[in-house]
A and B are shown apart, each in its own frame.
Chain A
Amino acid sequence: MDQIKQELKKQIIEQLNLEDVAVEDIADDTLLFASDGLALDSIDALELIVLLEKFYGIQVVNPEEGKTAFKSVDTMAAYIQQKTAQ
């Protein structure tokens, strides 16, 4: 699980072009969309959907589903585990 989270952080930084952010800057429970978190926006949410498909083969058809899954690295990792276990 920790490995998934580390990988995820790297992928998020790369996919979203977060130039000034390092892996260490993202805590497992950092709120990705909060203004005092990573301050991601709706386009970033779509990029996270692309990320899930590209690296994990997970298709998010309903963007609403993404809203809960993308709260933090913790929730994303749990979502990936749940989806890949299915």
Chain B
Amino acid sequence: MTVIKGYCHINKEDCWVNGKPVLAKTDDPEYSWLRQIYNFVGLSYPKFHKMDQLAQAGVLALALLKHEGDLPMDYSEEGVDLVLANRHASAGSDLRFQASYADHAAPSPALFVYTLPNIVLGEIAIQQKWYGDHIFVVLPAFDPDFFIQYAQRHIQQGCQAVIGGWLEVTDTETDVFLFLAEAEESTGKGGSLPLAAINELYRQPMPSISKL
């Protein structure tokens, strides 16, 4: 059996970990919402500032899950498989890169790098030094069966953990959901929710924290 040890959400104004509110956006003129989360989780990672929003969101969701979800994630180098999905791939960065070559004919290499949705997987792998299997798929909507099958298959085949999620970050939308799955028998920290509950976890009600 494969179980979910922890999960988190980032939406336009709040962060939730394991169904509990942990951070609400403030009207700080100095720091963007993602930067506020960066400060909150206490990251000190200069590369973060050069990433696009999709990669930033992925790195932050992982940090939230790790620290607020109290999950040590001390796996072997090749023990973690990553599977992320969304609907619009890297559309936000695509637009910015297109503008860089269309408007002033100076295509920006730093923007081009992020015009692929799987770069967020690379950034997580680099930060964590994880050498496992990783894949990014584009789906019309969050598909619980896809994640359930994927996590089951990879855990059955012997990987220690699967970290998966939905990562839709555009200029108008922030819908980030990340989960950590392990075999039920694993002795690691964290909860033990059935994998089949993933759809409910993804869709859990998240009233605005500032109004709670």
Which residues of A come within 8 Å of B, CB atoms?
Answer: 16-20, 39, 43-44, 46-47, 50, 53-54
Q: Is B211 interfacial (CB-CB < 8 Å)?
A: no
Give the complex CA separation of A86 and B113 in angstroms: 33
Q: Is the CB–CB distance between B49 and A43 below 8 Å?
A: no
Q: Is the CB–CB distance between B104 and A43 below 8 Å?
A: no
Give the complex CA separation of A47 and B111 in angstroms: 10
Q: Is the CB–CB distance between B49 and A17 below 8 Å?
A: yes
Give the complex CA separation of A17 and B96 in angstroms: 14
Which A residue sits closest to B50, measured CB to CB?
A17
Residues from chain A with a CB closer than 8 A to the CB of B107 are: 50
Give the complex CA separation of A20 and B104 in angstroms: 27
Q: Is the CB–CB distance between A50 and B50 below 8 Å?
A: no
Which A residue sits closest to B35, measured CB to CB?
A19
Give the complex CA separation of A47 and B113 in angstroms: 12
**7 interchain residue pairs of minimum CB distance:** A46-B109, A19-B49, A47-B110, A54-B106, A43-B110, A50-B106, A17-B50
Give the complex CA separation of A46 and B46 in angstroms: 18
Chain B nearest CB: distance from A44 CB in Å? Answer: 7
Q: Is the CB–CB distance between A20 and B110 below 8 Å?
A: no
Chain B nearest CB: distance from A85 CB in Å? Answer: 23
Give the complex CA separation of A45 and B50 in angstroms: 13
Chain A nearest CB: distance from B205 CB in Å? Answer: 34
Q: Report the interface size for chain B: residues with CB under 8 A from the other chain.
A: 10
Give the complex CA separation of A43 and B50 in angstroms: 10
Q: Is the CB–CB distance between B106 and A53 below 8 Å?
A: yes
Chain B nearest CB: distance from A56 CB in Å? Answer: 12
Residues B69-123 near A (CB distance < 8 A): 104, 106-110, 113
Q: Is the CB–CB distance between B108 and A47 below 8 Å?
A: yes
Q: List 10 additional A-B contacts (Cβ < 8 Å) besides A46-B110, A54-B104.
A: A16-B50, A17-B110, A20-B46, A39-B46, A43-B110, A43-B113, A44-B50, A44-B110, A46-B109, A54-B106
Residues B30-71 near A (CB distance < 8 A): 46, 49-50
A-B contact pairs, 21 of them (CB 8 A): A16-B110, A17-B110, A18-B49, A19-B49, A20-B46, A20-B49, A39-B46, A43-B50, A43-B109, A43-B110, A44-B50, A44-B110, A46-B109, A47-B108, A47-B109, A47-B110, A50-B106, A50-B107, A50-B108, A50-B109, A53-B106
Chain B nearest CB: distance from A57 CB in Å? Answer: 11
Give the complex CA separation of A19 and B38 in angstroms: 13
Residues from chain B with a CB closer than 8 A to the CB of A20 are: 46, 49
Give the complex CA separation of A74 and B108 in angstroms: 24
Residues from chain A with a CB closer than 8 A to the CB of B108 are: 47, 50
Give the complex CA separation of A14 and B109 in angstroms: 14
